[in-house]
A and B are shown apart, each in its own frame.
Chain A
Amino acid sequence: MPTNKSDQDRLLEHNYDGIQEYDNPMPRWWVWIFWASILFAVVYGLDPWHVLRGPGRIAEYDAAMAAAARAFPPPAAGGNAATLDALGRNPQAMAAGKQVFVTNCAPCHRPDGGGLIGPNLTDDYWIHGGTVTDVHRTITQGVLDKGMPNWGKVLKPEQIDDVAVYVFFGLHHTNPPNPKAPQGEKVERPE
């Protein structure tokens, strides 16, 4: 499309309610980008060797999941009983655990642990095991059937340690008002 000066701004004989039109050519860059976008569309759309489009969304997803599984092994559920016992005597861990509890657990177990949607955590009754490692495992893996999320995907390992000892040692026998009725089995623990 030639764009020499003589072509510029030649009026056509069109006149619509006083509106006239120039016979100008289309801007050259406009034409070229349009052609380039068409070329891109054809190449990208056909792309028989999947150079541009990649292997497809599901294959890419599977690869990403596999890579993540290699890089980040699943968190250990249950933890180490001796470590957790020691943490239970550590006021810093206890305070950190309380913080995690209030943020994440309180909506279902109440801020004081007395139970609301989830069970009372202050009494002697446990549904999914009554040792500190049981509690650690329940938090990490969740009990999906009953609506307890698997916090291992959300909380960091040290946060899970902290909140597990807070629940097991910190809330025990705190006797909050209006507790939820006991659920599960009674587990005596040596004081």
Chain B
Amino acid sequence: MTLSEGVASAPAGVGARTPSVPRGAAVALDSFSYDDDIVRKFMLATFVWGLVGMLVGLIVALQMVVPALDFAPWFTFGRLRPLHTNAVIFAFAGNAFFTGAYYSTQRLCKTRMFSDVLGRFHFWGWQAIIVAAAITLPLGFTQAKEYAELEWPIDIAIAVVWVVFAVNFFGTLKQRRERHLYVAIWFYIASIITVAILHIFNNLAMPAGWLKSYPIYAGVQDAFMQWWYGHNAVAFFLTTPFLGLMYYFMPKAAERPVYSYKLSILHFWSLVFIYIWAGPHHLHYTALPEWASTLGMVFSVMLWMPSWGGMINGLLTLRGAWNKVAEDPVLKFFVVAVTAYGMATFEGPMLSIKSVNALAHYSDWIIAHVHTGTLGWNGFLTFGMIYWLMPRLFQTRLYSRKLAEWHFWIGSLGILLYVVAIYSAGVTEGLMWRAFDHTGRLAYPDWIETVVKVIPMWWMRAVGGGLYLVGVLMLGWNMLMTWRSRPAVYDVPVIQAPPLTREHREETRAGAPAGAWARFTSLDWHRMWEGRWLLFTVMVIVAVAVASLFEILPTFLIRENVPSISSVKPYTPLELAGRDIYIREGCFYCHSQMIRPFRWETERFGEYSKPGEFVYDHPFLWGSRRIGPDLAREGGKYPDLWHVRHMQDPRSITPRSIMPAYPQLLGNDLDFAGIQHKVDAMAMLGVPYGQAVLQDEAPKMARAQAALIADTIAQQGGPPNLQSKEIVALVAYLQRLGWDATRVAGPAAAPAAGAAGAAAAPKPAGGGAP
């Protein structure tokens, strides 16, 4: 792994061998050089953010076993979990993608990047966005949509930087000196295009302040859009970019040809087209219409082989190079990465089978599934790539191959401990939740039993994650020491290649077959597409858009998808403010609000959730994980005072609870004046708020309801004078949950009556029905 090797693999003469240039023709060669400075920048950012993101991951893992670590409001699990996910996905994996894409695209297209300035804008813009995320997420600014938590100004910045990246990338394709686009470039195109579409459509929101907004979608539709996005963020941010990287760095490192060009074509197009449909498998047995759930399942099953196409092409490329794998840490990382990809993409279709999903959903099984992919596939592919790039970018020898070997082994052990522990935890949870005893009662009616049971496994997970992090520190040391032995001035080799001629006729293969089917399977047409970047890009857009619209349009247009329930009314202004506190604190990361139609769920939590219950939920808060119990029917289950004491110190109610304490909610003043903006934004989205939107009416209504709740709390023996504190809003919200659809028959007016009709909803004494 020396510099000369890296440069020698792209001799200037290669271009003359491509069929696009007639042999022997006299062509003036262009001289140019590659921009590796930008690659070095992205590589350093990859390491730094990887370290930060994984450290936060370790912290949240430890917070689950030592709740005392939730020691400050900005340092609770609910605020740090999105920091972990955003940092490792968008900062670590994102920068890793940019590192590899900037390095390989220039070489695969035989041109410098389109614009050095746009490249720098992309780099610094992306890092600024990450810093903004690292500040706003712990402060509780969130849209409450997983992996799309960042608030609207940051979302706009992301869109701008992404477009700049796209312009720089497609500009590079346009000025390329290589006639055909290599498969790595196809995957980059699909990633850049689809991420832009996903990001824009999932983040459409109505601002209610500088760092507060409500999505334009509600309930079932919002859930659908979120998991169309969420699933495809996995697909087009963590899968296709890394397949592109694999297709460049794997054959480079192994010095072997790619196994099958045909397989590349078929698995690329099938992956891009099929992935988009699979999102609803995140919502099996929820209030999502069953047809969408079924579509999500069958497309996930069909996704198995397209995914494995990438694995096969990766692993079979190593044929004849396995002796190298034994010696080279780079290839070791790649082999584990591709194997992890294969395992995760077998498991994904399996988890999408409804009956398997019934067991796994809400449990740690999903966390295990994700981490097989992220720690194994994304992490190890990135590490292998960085070890391969370091000597080439720093133009020196790698400081220590032995340390890289150690990184590989300690990282692998970390992955193993992590996933074994958390798979066991997931299956244990799933089985305990559904277990009945011989009398027909839940075998573990007390939720905390199912939590305490898996705590040893959570400890083991933290150990595994810790080992993985130690490996990353080894990478950092290796990087630092390699960088220190760089030359005083980097050598910038001048590359020469002929420009593309304007006229070009695609050569068909010898003995071109006759007949439509034969012509189709000969794939000559695809060779033509590969020569036209714009056509190729348009085809990708068509594949993604058609697949999306087939699911999105019916979800929004068919009325029967969400049968309306007349008793469901908007939240009162105070409840809305309480809901925003629930969102701010990230309660939905641990508490679902979606009871599935299973006997074991309805016995535990109450009547299953109906689609019509969520029509005013901007955003939906169904959640994806149950670390604590479901709260869809929490309203009226306990007296107001129970909630006050529980928020103040959860362990005073449930001694072994792992929930963070929120004593500050009893001290923080509620921003009553700000409630008007919330109500106004909701009204703009079509929520019928009636009188509440009149000037200053919402805060007045909120104060009236707050006074009633504070009275009730005091009557029940709780602390007096809480009417101006945040806790009353949160109690108001929690006591409203699940009322409208199932308990309308209660005496007098249901709490909901106040919302649309505008009178502040009276809070019942005793916390239940009024």
Residues of A whose CB lies within 8 Å of any CB of B are 11-27, 30, 33-34, 37-38, 40-42, 44-45, 53, 56-58, 60-61, 64-65, 68, 71-72, 103-104, 107-108, 115-118, 144-147, 149, 153-157, 180
Contact = CB atoms under 8 A, between A and B. Distances in A.
Contact of A41 (B298, B445, B641): B298
A19 B252 CA distance: 7
B301 A22 contact: no
Contacts of A23: 260-262
A104 B445 CA distance: 11
Give 9 closest A-B pairs by Cβ, nearest first: A72-B440, A41-B298, A61-B597, A34-B305, A145-B768, A18-B9, A20-B257, A154-B445, A24-B260
Contacts of B17: 13, 15
Nearest to B319: A9
A12 B180 CA distance: 13
B459 to A, nearest CB: 25
Given A15-B17, A24-B263, A154-B441, A145 B636 contact: yes
Interface in B481-524: none
A21 B264 contact: yes
9 contacts: A13-B17, A16-B178, A19-B252, A22-B257, A24-B260, A30-B308, A108-B639, A117-B638, A147-B636
A45 B295 contact: yes
A21 B526 CA distance: 15
Interface string B633-671: 000111101100100000011100000000000000000
A31 to B, nearest CB: 8
B261 A17 contact: no
B214 interface: no
B304 interface: yes
B22 interface: no
B665 to A, nearest CB: 17
B207 interface: no
Interface string B756-768: 0000000010111
Nearest to B769: A145
A33 B252 CA distance: 30
Nearest to B439: A156
Given A45-B294, A116-B717, A153-B441, A37 B10 contact: no
Given A15-B17, A117-B639, A37 B262 contact: no
Q: Interface size class for chain B?
A: 35 or more
A17 B107 contact: yes
B261 A22 contact: yes
A53 to B, nearest CB: 7
Residue with the greatest number of chain A CB neighbours at <10 A, chosen from B261, B637, B641, B652: B261
A27 B310 CA distance: 12
Contacts of B297: 44
A120 B137 CA distance: 44
Contact of B305 (A37, A60, A118, A146): A37
B303 to A, nearest CB: 8
B603 interface: yes
B608 interface: yes
Interface in B99-113: 104, 107-108, 110
Contacts of A25: 260, 262
A54 to B, nearest CB: 9
Nearest to B638: A147
B85 interface: no
Contact of B258 (A20, A30, A37, A116): A20
Nearest to A38: B302
Contacts of B445: 153-155
Contacts of A56: 290
A140 B717 CA distance: 26
B312 interface: yes
Contacts of A104: 446
Given A14-B180, A26-B262, A144-B768, A57 B290 contact: yes
Given A38-B302, A56-B290, A21 B19 contact: no
Nearest to B358: A57
B184 to A, nearest CB: 8
Nearest to B597: A61
Nearest to B507: A13
Nearest to A12: B261
Contacts of A118: 639
B251 A146 contact: no
A44 B294 contact: yes
B642 A30 contact: no
Nearest to B183: A21
Contact of B301 (A17, A41, A58, A153): A41
B259 interface: yes
B177 to A, nearest CB: 11
Residue with the greatest number of chain A CB neighbours at <10 A, chosen from B10, B257, B297: B257
A65 B599 CA distance: 6
Nearest to B18: A15
Contacts of B264: 21
B599 A64 contact: yes
B290 A19 contact: no
Contacts of A180: 717
B441 A53 contact: no
Given A146-B639, A156-B441, 14 more contacts: A11-B257, A17-B182, A18-B10, A19-B257, A22-B259, A30-B309, A34-B306, A44-B294, A44-B297, A61-B608, A68-B440, A68-B599, A104-B446, A154-B442
B299 interface: yes
B554 interface: no
Contacts of A17: 9-10, 14, 104, 107-108, 110, 182, 248, 252
A21 B263 CA distance: 11
Given A34-B305, A44-B294, A107-B653, A16 B768 contact: no
A117 B716 contact: yes
Contacts of B110: 17
B328 to A, nearest CB: 17
A107 B642 CA distance: 9
Contacts of B18: 13, 15
Residue with the greatest number of chain B CB neighbours at <10 A, chosen from A42, A60, A104, A153: A153
Contacts of B636: 144-145, 147
B153 interface: no
A15 B14 contact: yes
B295 A117 contact: no
B90 interface: no
B746 interface: yes
Nearest to A62: B597
A20 B260 CA distance: 10
Contact of A117 (B285, B294, B305, B641): B641
Contacts of A12: 261
A21 B439 contact: no
Given A14-B180, A57-B597, A72-B439, A21 B294 contact: no
Interface in B241-286: 248, 251-252, 257-264, 266, 270, 285
B121 interface: no
Nearest to B15: A15
Interface in B294-338: 294-295, 297-299, 301-302, 304-306, 308-309, 312
Nearest to B599: A64
B515 to A, nearest CB: 16
A59 B584 CA distance: 38
A45 B439 CA distance: 38
B645 to A, nearest CB: 7
Interface in B530-563: none
Interface in B427-461: 437, 439-442, 445-446
A145 B608 CA distance: 19
B598 interface: yes
A24 B309 contact: no
A115 to B, nearest CB: 8
Contacts of B285: 57
A65 B716 CA distance: 37
Contacts of B290: 56-57
Contacts of A30: 263, 305, 308-309, 312
A155 to B, nearest CB: 8
